[in-house]
Amino acid sequence: MNPRKRTARLAGLLLLLGGITTPFSLIYLPKKLIVAGDATATANNVRAFEKVLRIAITCDLVGVIFFTLGVLSLYRLFKDVDNQQALYMIVLWVVTVPITFINELNRIGALIFVSGASFLSAFTPGQTDALAMLLLKVFAQGVIVNQIFWGLWLVPYGILVYKSRFIPWALGLALIIAGSAYVSASVTELLSPHYARLVTGWLLMLGIGEAPILIWLLVKGVRDQSTAEVS
């Protein structure tokens, strides 16, 4: 296996490991925990799923590390295609790392508020339940903010794929569309939350444009040199 193909497959593996728990942690679990308008029911859910939530937090933090290593592998893969775009790709991704780590403190804080610790005796149960729900809501808003950069880093990534001769250009176009959709969904959520449900679902469906390149990297890696030269 040539070094470029090995780097591509390593990047695909690291990106897969970094994002494999994301749908569970950021889509399924919040729907399982948060009961709209009912802080007590939400707090009870957090207590009931405490271990699951702690595992999700840990997986998210570890996942960011794997994903960052994957992006660094992508830099090695594409730096000779366009070093400037490759640097943009890294910088835009790295911005998400501190946002993710800081945002997870909101879920950790929610766990503290429902823990029943003695130092919380100054608060009534209703207050601690409300504060726990508040932190979960703030976490959700943090995800929306982070999603902007999840979209932005895909644009230079897509440009690099498009310009390379060793990965199909269509996969790069799909990345650019997915990145634009993520950014548009976040901006809609922030500017017009009351109308967000009408459009963000359709926009986020375009985010599946990330999947084909991941499969390509894992299975194919890169085109053979002779094929790439002809394309």
For the chain, domain boundaries: 3-224
Residue 29 vs residues 2, 46, 98: alpha-carbon distances, Å: 41, 10, 22
Cα–Cα distance, 155 to 200 (Å, whole number): 19
220 burial (CB, 10 Å; 0-12 / 13-18 / 19+) is middle
* Band of pLDDT at residue 208, cut at 50, 70 and 90: confident
Average pLDDT, the chain: 92
pLDDT: which is higher, 207 or 142: 142
pLDDT for the residue numbered 225? 61
Instruction: Give the model confidence (pLDDT) of 19-38 as tens digits.
Output: 999 989 998 999 999 999 99
* Band of pLDDT at residue 196, cut at 50, 70 and 90: confident
Cα–Cα distance, 52 to 47 (Å, whole number): 10
In this predicted structure, the answer to whether residue 227 has a pLDDT above a threshold of 70 is no
pLDDT for the residue numbered 203? 76
pLDDT for the residue numbered 230? 42
- Name the 3-class secondary structure at 2: coil
Report the b/e string of 109-130 with b at 16+ CB within 10 A.
Answer: bbbebbeeeeebeeeeeeebbb
* Band of pLDDT at residue 231, cut at 50, 70 and 90: very low
Q: Shortest CA distance to 67 belongs to which of 22, 28, 107, 25?
A: 22
In this predicted structure, the answer to whether residue 215 has a pLDDT above a threshold of 90 is yes
In this predicted structure, the answer to whether residue 205 has a pLDDT above a threshold of 90 is no
Instruction: Give the model confidence (pLDDT) of 146-177 as tens digits.
Output: 999 999 999 999 999 999 999 999 999 999 99
The DSSP secondary-structure symbol of 24 reads I
CA dihedral sign of residues 150, 209, 77, 2: positive
* Band of pLDDT at residue 193, cut at 50, 70 and 90: confident
In this predicted structure, the answer to whether residue 130 has a pLDDT above a threshold of 50 is yes
pLDDT for the residue numbered 226? 47
pLDDT for the residue numbered 194? 82
pLDDT: which is higher, 209 or 69: 69
pLDDT: which is higher, 231 or 71: 71
pLDDT for the residue numbered 176? 96
* Band of pLDDT at residue 1, cut at 50, 70 and 90: low
Tokens of 174: 């799909």
In this predicted structure, the answer to whether residue 218 has a pLDDT above a threshold of 60 is yes
Q: Shortest CA distance to 111 belongs to which of 38, 61, 45?
A: 45
- Overall average pLDDT of the 191-215 stretch: 83
The DSSP secondary-structure symbol of 28 reads I
The DSSP secondary-structure symbol of 165 reads S
